Chains A and B, each alone.
Chain A
Amino acid sequence: MTEFVYFYRGYELPASPEEMQKKTAKWMTWLKDLSDKGLVKSLGEPLQPDGKVVKGTKKQVIDGPYAEAKDVVGGYSIIVARDIEQAVEFSLGCPIFEDGGSVEVRPIGQLELSDGY
């Protein structure tokens, strides 16, 4: 089994408290379902939209976010799957797609021979 990170990117926030509640409930149901099946390593954390980027040899500090709203990472989770195909399959139920967002599925770079660490 391999660990994968889901990066949740760019989506519209619901306009009313009632819609927020419905959306929150959908996410909770989706992640709880994965979690009950033992597929979640870490539920993860949300990321605040504001931040800084430090870059270049001059270590220039600039205000984030860094890209268009639709590309900003709003949070992440770590899940366990057999392979990338299965990790993608598990992501399909994520409510983010209803709101124009995306899930970036990235295998965590574990090497087969990781005994040296």
Chain B
Amino acid sequence: MDIEEHFFRHEFGRIVATLTRLFGVRNFALAEDVAQDAFCRAMETWKLRGLPKNPSAWLMAIAKNRALDILRRERTARVSEPELTRFLESEWTLVPTIEEAFSTYAVKDSQLRMMFSCCHPRLSEEAQIALILHILCGFSVKEIAQAFVSSHAAIEKRITRAKKILAESAKLFDLADADFPSRLSSVLQALYLLFNEGYHGSSPEAAVRMELCQEAMLLMNLLIEQPALVTPQSYALAALMYLNAARLPTRLNGSGNLVSFFEQDRSLWNHNLIAEGQALLNLSASGTELTKYHIEAAIASMHTSTARTEDTDWKQIVSLYDMLMAIHPSPVIALNRAIAIAQLDGPERGLQEIRVIHDLHRLSSYPFYPATLGELELRRGNYPVAKAHFSTALSLARNPMERNFLQRRIDTCKESQPGS
């Protein structure tokens, strides 16, 4: 029997969250140690004897026994979750309380609480995401540093500081708290950024890191399973993730090269994910609030519901981008809007729109800004200008996939230019 992909990582997050609930956020380090210990034992045993029948239950049992030992030994000193303390103080209720904490429902609840705790208002968005990846998804500091093209030391510092702030909280986030709605939007924003990091990745190694997208979706699913946490904007973000994830398989071709949006083979899109995403988008339509997630999901849905690229309703897409710019203006969104306008009214119009983008300088290191200029110039037949833009883009490329992609565009310019 093979171990399910990322099994250790996912179980680690579940166990740390559960133990933190039992020991209190203040004793987060202890929870991590106990989880680490359980995993070492699992590894030592499994590598010789193979997998047990139920690996997850096996790990949980080890963690459970260790938790029981610790709570017996250091009873009140360790515990700080007020609603659990009194049950853990008496031998009569200690064992059933721990059993209960390791039940499927309670583990999910602990993960959710952890997610909300990680999105502490005193933490920056970067720190929140790093913490979520580290605590809930079981990524090591090194793995996070790789994913975010950051130095090991920088991520380590960020996580250590974030953990300290987390440990200062007396308890894990109480879902009934009055500040619940504000935390929910930070949680959604963190998951959104996590997903985008995977989807548009700036990593030097890979342009699409499916793993980060999958992690964001797993956590998102946990959130929308919880009736109390389901809001139209949660549904909208979930829809956006599903509709984008459906298109992940075609962003890279068989040889690992980026494929232009216009050349993607739509028959390879994941139709189950599209159907799920569409259903979620419908659910998001209740209420009066219109968030950026709603609009971005609507744009994604315009693409996934159109079988052939040439049938795309660009007019509708441009108007969705207009709405997005109205509630959430950003140079990247403006650039995407300009691309849609170019599709609708031709490359000249697209270039005009790019010239008037506010804060254009913020795109100066974004390779797809010059790449877009190159693409539009190429369509106008301005091959030398297009080639120059693609060369600029190439110098900004962040990974081999982007470099290959841009090199091929440069080659296209050369081939298209008469007399060269």
Contacts and interface: CB of A to CB of B under 8 A. Distances in A.
Interface residues of A, number: 24
Nearest to B13: A17
Contact of B3 (A14, A16, A25): A25
A46 interface: yes
B6 A24 contact: no
A82 to B, nearest CB: 23
A27 B47 contact: yes
Interface in B183-204: none
Interface string A1-45: 000000000000111111111011111100110000000000111
A65 interface: no
Interface string B282-306: 0000000000000000000000000
A44 B51 CA distance: 14
A91 to B, nearest CB: 14
B46 A28 contact: yes
Interface string B1-38: 01100111101100000000000000000000000000
B142 A18 contact: no
Contact of A16 (B41, B49, B139): B139
A17 B50 contact: no
A17 B47 contact: no
A17 B44 contact: no
Most buried by B among A17, A43, A45: A17
A13 B8 CA distance: 14
A32 B140 contact: no
B147 to A, nearest CB: 12
A107 interface: no
Given A74-B44, A75-B44, A20 B50 contact: no
B369 interface: no
Given A21-B3, A21-B6, A25-B3, A16 B46 contact: no
A26 B40 CA distance: 15
Nearest to A95: B47
Interface residues of B, number: 26
Interface string A63-96: 0000000000011010000000000000000000
Contacts of B140: 15-19
Contacts of B46: 24, 27-28
Nearest to B50: A28
B48 A18 contact: no
Nearest to A21: B8
B48 A17 contact: no
B143 A16 contact: yes
A19 to B, nearest CB: 8
Contact of A43 (B12, B42, B50): B50
Given A15-B142, A16-B139, A28 B43 contact: no
Contacts of A32: 50
A44 B47 CA distance: 10
Most buried by A among B40, B51, B139: B40
A44 B3 CA distance: 20
A18 B3 contact: no
A77 B39 contact: no
B134 to A, nearest CB: 10
A44 B143 contact: no
Contacts of A18: 6, 8-9, 138-140, 143
B45 interface: yes
B47 A23 contact: yes
Interface string B127-152: 00000000000111011000000000
Contact of B48 (A20, A23, A75): A75
A20 B51 contact: no
A45 B50 CA distance: 11
Given A17-B138, A31-B47, A44-B49, 17 more contacts: A14-B43, A16-B138, A16-B143, A17-B39, A18-B6, A18-B9, A20-B8, A21-B6, A23-B47, A24-B46, A28-B3, A31-B48, A32-B50, A44-B48, A45-B48, A46-B44, A77-B48
Pairs A-B, 9 closest by C-beta atoms: A16-B140, A27-B47, A46-B44, A17-B8, A21-B8, A17-B12, A17-B138, A17-B9, A24-B47
Interface of B: 2-3, 6-9, 11-12, 39-51, 138-140, 142-143
Interface of A: 13-21, 23-28, 31-32, 43-46, 74-75, 77
14 contacts: A16-B139, A16-B140, A16-B143, A17-B138, A18-B6, A18-B139, A18-B140, A20-B39, A21-B7, A24-B8, A24-B46, A28-B50, A28-B51, A46-B48
